[in-house]
A and B are shown apart, each in its own frame.
Chain A
Amino acid sequence: MLKFDHVSKVYKGGKRAVQDLTLEIEKGEFICFIGPSGCGKTTTMKMINRLIEPTEGSIYINGKNILEGDSVQLRREIGYVIQQIGLFPHMTIQENISLVLKLLKFSEEKRRTRARELLALVDMTPDYLEKYPHELSGGQQQRIGVLRALAADQPLILMDEPFGALDPITRDSLQEEFKKLQRKLEKTIVFVTHDMDEALKLADRIVIMRDGQIVQCDTPDEILRNPANEFVEEFIGRDRLVQARPNIQTVEQIMNPSPITITGERTLSEAIQLMKHHRVDSLLVVDEKKVLQGFIDVEIIDQKRKKASLVRDVVETDIFTVEKHTLVRDTVRKILKVGMKYVPVVDDKHRLVGIVTRASLVDIVYDSIWGEDEMTKIG
């Protein structure tokens, strides 16, 4: 779908930002460019929509040399998300989202419908359409920034550190949301980041760059298993290499499949009995179909037992979960980063299927260290 053929960029003043880059990207692929600051990621990306013109080489989209057509037309067919978000402050969210459609001369009505449709993709209600960017949180603004790039249903989207300016928790949820969106919409995405966690989580293939050249281009698993050289190893970081145990893949494989649960109709004293019996300090609350509702713990019960008597009335619904097909390494990072004691595992209908605790993660980390030692002994 997208092909770089011996592309170089030399800036005025002689700076070689990109050197002889050759790369082919498949339709529907999610490609992350990563590398130290100044290695030429942004330059490479901007050559795709001709915000920067290559000095040498050619770039093809679906077999067509992009340098031969009209650059404005080209850009309208490529979604573009910038790090600074860049929403227009004088336009409503609706106008911001559908601006490309306006350039493409779609009718007002079509634009409105499309904006509404897109907003629904990120679970934002239609009343945001009439708001202005400054009335939104940073995370919401960046969601709109992404939607704007999807408006004309462009098959190819370029994103330059789109989540860089967000706080870690917002970034995390946006990444997840975006990955889902990408799978659903089957877009080809070129994504620049300097965050290895982000690249590992999102990318189908990661392109590691250094001084304008590709050092390694592989799937996240392959890069973790076989880093091309020391530069890559260092760039990934030792701790991540440990997490990359090849035989363990998804959360489903390591979770404890029978977490202690309770239903909302039970009383608080029953809950305490149950906790005492199993020697745990919190319980997951599910309904009769096993759909996860939230959790309760001793602290909550202690605070609310005077006012309420049923589990249903005190259940804390703000709970972090992972999907059972999530990769273990993502979950590990999340648990370690957010500092949670456990994470409930759910299926696609939000039914509880298991639980991953810190203890189960410790086992994996021990295993892999032990495994590695043994390897050295043999070698």
Chain B
Amino acid sequence: MDTILPFFSTYGSEMLYKTWEHLYISLIAAALGILIAVPLGVALTRFPKAAGFVMGVLGVIQTFPSFAILAFFIPLLGVGKIPAIIALFFYSVLPILRNTYTGVSGVQKSLLEAGRGMGMTGWERICYVEVPLAIPVMMAGIRLSTVYLIGWATLASFIGGGGLGDYIFSGLNLYQPEFIIAGAVPVTLLALLTDLLLGKVEGWVTPKGMKKMREAA
């Protein structure tokens, strides 16, 4: 106890700042991931043959160690926040892409035929039928990927991206456990809170009819 309070009084405001930094690095990466992966996932459902290939390649990239990817970006983009965000963005793509693809291709064929038969354009089918029906699966991917990113964003400090990783790394280097804790605990809390929040968001964006249907089932 008597070490915590002095620690806070010295580092409290810095900790808040780093938490904020950590959060926005991960959220920007996740947002970029959504922005790219959702349309791409929908587009891939139009080309099932290409889809297998793209998923395969992304699956392989995903297995590269995170450090290797981060290190890979240093010669290309230098150090700092931007390369960190870009590296994290790469990580976020696959789960969102995969779930979008699975969700959209799982929509019943009869519903698509009904839509086509009543005169929907391809675009209208996506907006009114495919995406709304795929939302629960898509949201699961977004939630998972965002929570992971918050964990992985710790590594951003390694290439000068800042965030709570700074504490963890300096704690490790200088063998000062209080720094490790000062980094790890907020990261965990952040991840939990984000998951909770995204759970709520999932509730808001899932069409009411589908929620009711699941309750009834």
> What is the CA–CA distance of A365 and B116 in the complex, to the nearest angstrom?
48
Judged by a CB distance under 8 angstroms, whether A371 is at the interface is no
Q: Which residues does chain A contribute within 8 Å of B69, judged by CB atoms?
A: none
Tell me the bound Cα distance from A123 to B115 in angstroms: 26
Q: Are B209 and A103 in touch, CB under 8 angstroms?
A: no
Task: List the B side residues contacting A82 at CB < 8 Å.
Answer: 110, 113-114, 117
Chain B residues with CB under 8 Å of A49's CB are 117
Most chain-B CB neighbours within 10 Å: which of A90, A103, A132?
A90
A75–B119 contact, CB under 8 A? yes
| Inter-chain CB contacts under 8 Å: number | 74
A86 proximal to B (CB < 8 A): yes
Chain A residues with CB below 8 A from B110, complex form: 82, 84-86
Knowing A90-B132, A100-B118 touch, does A132 contact B113 (C-beta < 8 A)?
A: no
Is the pair B119, A135 in contact by a Cβ cutoff of 8 Å? no
Q: Which of B120-128, B148-156, B163-171 is found at the contact surface with chain A?
A: B120-128
Contact of A86 with B114 in the complex, beta carbons under 8 Å? yes
The 8 Å CB contact of B212, one of A72, A75, A103, A134, is: A134
B51 within 8 A of A: no
Assess whether A148 is in contact with B133, with CB atoms less than 8 Å apart.
no
A14 to B68, CA, bound (A): 53
Tell me whether B39 is interfacial, beta carbon within 8 Å: no
Contacting pair A75 B124 (CB below 8 A) = no
- A100 and B117 form a contact (CB under 8 A): no
Could you say which of B118, B121, B124, B209 contacts A91, with CB atoms under 8 Å apart?
Answer: B209
Within 8 A of B (CB), among A53-78: 72-77
Contacts of B118 in A (CB 8 A): 75-76, 80, 99-100, 103, 148-149
Task: Say which residue of A72, A87, A88, A135 sits within 8 Å of B121 (CB atoms).
Answer: A72
Q: Does B54 contact A (CB under 8 A)?
A: no
A73-B117 contact given A84-B110, A132-B213, CB 8 Å threshold: no
Chain B residues whose C-beta falls within 8 Å of the C-beta of A88 in the assembled complex: 111, 114-115, 128-129, 133
A181 vs B163: C-alpha distance when bound (angstroms):
68
* Cα(A73)–Cα(B118), bound, Å: 9
CB closest residue in chain A, given B206: A90
Tell me, in angstroms, the Cα distance from A51 to B129 when the chains sit together: 18
From B113, B119, B120, residue with most partner A Cβ within 10 Å: B119
Return chain A residues, CB-CB under 8 Å to B209. Answer: 89-92, 132-134
Residues of the B chain whose Cβ atoms lie less than 8 Å from the Cβ of A102:
128
Q: Which residues of A contact B4 (CB under 8 A)?
A: none
Q: Are A51's CB and B119's CB within 8 A?
A: no
Can you report 12 A-B residue pairs in the complex whose CB atoms are below 8 A from each other? A74-B119, A80-B118, A82-B113, A86-B110, A86-B114, A88-B115, A90-B133, A90-B208, A99-B118, A100-B119, A103-B120, A134-B213
